[in-house]
Structure 1
Amino acid sequence: MKNMAQEFSGIIAKNHWNKKYQELTQQALQDPDVQKFIRQHQSQITTTILNNNLDAIYEFVQAKNHKNNFASEYDPFLRLVNQSIQVVYRPNPKLSAQKQQIALEHKFMTLNMASDIRQANLDDYAQGALGRQESYAAALNFVLKYSQNPQQFIPGLYLCGKLGVGKTYLLAAIARELVEHKVTVLLMHFPTFAVQMKNAIQNNSVLSQINQIKAVPILMLDDIGADSLSSWIRDEVLGVILQYRLQEKLPTFFSSNFSMAELQKHLTVNQRGDEETLKAARIMERIRFLSQEIIVSGPNRRFK
């Protein structure tokens, strides 16, 4: 049997790897950042140290040029430790910021909402807004309490007020603040979702879609009461979602043009004109448990 060491030496000699390696390391030594490092440590780095650490210098240049997948996410740096040149890696700030943004977007889920809704923030909501003090304070209070103890049940907010006063914007601003604390939030336009649920009957996906929504840590139902809900949507969709969240004590947010009292009247009369007082009261009982009513007032800012 051949000696493995001799065989490997033969392969190296045949392919002139030593010469090629020398060429590559010499090129690495001419790299501007390597030259700068050597100048900074010229009183400490000897020819012997350089010769003994050519592999580290070569690794640094290769990593800097992103020729290796791992290094593409990190910035390499050279350092001198006990007469040894080492390569250290630090996270690339740009890529780290991009990853953080992607992670936040995954936690800030939206359904049938405007594409720019994730840009909302509480500071912009509060600035120069007459009639928003109470809602702004309530939003800050929720974010503070929930971020400190997410295991404790804290009712969400039921934001009611006229068109254009910023109810949806405030929901989105709260959501953005929460995802900064690594909380998963789903903000959805409920009237559009109700229409989708009717269509979901055809492919038998109603239950699976409800199950995906009902258990999210923070659920925000925008524009509830904006249309006339059928008894089926009210009881078998909205009712099922709210019942689960009540049982699991999961904070839920709402926005509506109706106050809670007005929403109860709205939910009482079904699309056929029949009054279903008890069923509407059951829905409202859950909404009142899951959220705190806050009136949002002020001018219509939608057309400014």
Structure 2
Amino acid sequence: MESLGDLLKAWPTGRSITDQAKQKMEELMADPLVEKLLVRYPELDERAIRLNLNRVYQYVTEYRNCTYCPGLDLCPNDFEGHYTLLSSETVNGSVQLYDRKVACKKFVARESEQKIRSRIRSFYVDDAALRRGYSSDEILTNDLERAKAVGQLLRYIDRTKEHGLQQEGLFLSGRFGTGKTFLMCYMLQELAKQGHSGVIVYMPDFVEDLKSLMHEPGKLKETVEMMKETDLLIFDDIGAENLNPWVRDHVLGAILNYRMERKPTFYTSNYELDALEKHFSFTSKDGEELHKGQRIMDRIRPYVEVLMVTGENKRGRK
């Protein structure tokens, strides 16, 4: 931002710096912001303003910049997203004027949003779904066919806000494109505002990557531990993955075994629970293993509230 000294130097030649400063002083004293400052701090006088002319000029200029804010990325103030605030006190009979930088509302909102995002990690899920900001009223009325499921979700969010993490998670079942992933992202955003951490994983891509992690035990352990410990874990589109026994029994099984009765796990799926059990009971390598499928489902079925998400397919809808 241009300083008062730079401004005075840029004024037309032929006038002394004293005359220029005097005119600027008169303009500042007549500025409504300075008038309010003098009302708030009656001890301030023209002499104190003159001794702190540059501070007062910056205060007025930055306040005006904020009034006509062009956005944080184009903020013209010295310190992006901050403005100068003045205060005064009398020390040993001498009037002192102090300035400090204060964060504007837009900067505070962006910092808050970034803190919320830092609590959420996504694997193979479009970040746009996590960034979209909808109110509960909007998601409730967006598709009235899914209103019952949305109502259940909102009640779950309220319970968690009031009583803390629940042992029971949610299982969102329904056909393609009804908004199951979006509803889970909305829940993550709402609960991240309360300080909870969250991870959302798109299962088909995650399972494929796990196969390569077999050869990187350190990275595999780190990934599994993160999923065990996060407050909210969402397996998105579970049942659509190309399952193998190792992923089912040693990765997914280990994560679910740790989390049950500790922290809630959430799922979206095109399957209902019984159909998902059949999916887990068959792998291309070992064929049908009913007890293996049942074992996984014993770590899912008792620990979820089922939400049937009905409604129209919103994918590709304009």
Please classify the TM superposition score into its range, dividing by the shorter chain length.
0.7 to 0.9
| Matched residue, 1:75 | 83
- The one-character-per-residue Cα deviations of 1:132-182 (angstroms, maximum 9, x if unpaired) are 1221111111111111122x5341110011111111111112112222223
Question: Contact 1:77–1:87 (CA<8 Å) still a contact in 2?
Answer: yes
Matched letter for residue 244 of structure 1: Y
Displacement of 1:198: 0.3
1:105 equivalent in alignment to 2:113: no
* Structure-2 change in CA distance of 1:227 and 1:33 (3 Å): farther
Unmatched runs of 5 consecutive residues or more in structure 2? 1-16, 63-74
Tell me the number of residue pairs that the alignment of Structure 1 and Structure 2 aligns: 275
| Matched residue, 2:196 | 183
* Structure-2 change in CA distance of 1:101 and 1:32 (3 Å): farther
* Structure-2 change in CA distance of 1:47 and 1:291 (3 Å): same
* Structure-2 change in CA distance of 1:264 and 1:31 (3 Å): farther
1:170 equivalent in alignment to 2:149: no
Question: Aligned partners of 1:286 and 1:110: how far apart in 2?
Answer: 23
| Matched residue, 1:269 | 282
Matched letter for residue 170 of structure 1: L
Give the 3-state SS of the residue equivalent to 2:194 in structure 1.
coil
| TM-score, with length taken from structure 2 | 0.75
Displacement of 1:46: 3.2
1:116 equivalent in alignment to 2:128: yes
* Structure-2 change in CA distance of 1:50 and 1:60 (3 Å): closer
Matched letter for residue 220 of structure 1: I
Displacement of 1:252: 1.0
Displacement of 1:261: 0.8
* Structure-2 change in CA distance of 1:32 and 1:108 (3 Å): farther
Matched letter for residue 288 of structure 1: R
Unmatched runs of 5 consecutive residues or more in structure 1? 1-21
| Matched residue, 1:201 | 214
Give the 3-state SS of the residue equivalent to 1:253 in structure 2.
strand
Give the 3-state SS of the residue equivalent to 2:106 in structure 1.
helix
Matched letter for residue 153 of structure 2: A
Residue of 239, 259, 263 corresponding to 2:253: 239
Query: What are the within-5 Å matches in structure 2 for residues 35-114 of structure 1?
Result: 36=31, 37-40=33-36, 41=38, 44=42, 45-50=44-49, 54=51, 58-59=54-55, 74-81=82-89, 83-114=95-126
Query: What are the within-5 Å matches in structure 2 for residues 9-24 of structure 1?
Result: none
Displacement of 1:114: 1.5
| Matched residue, 1:11 | none
Give the 3-state SS of the residue equivalent to 2:267 in structure 1.
strand
| Matched residue, 1:6 | none
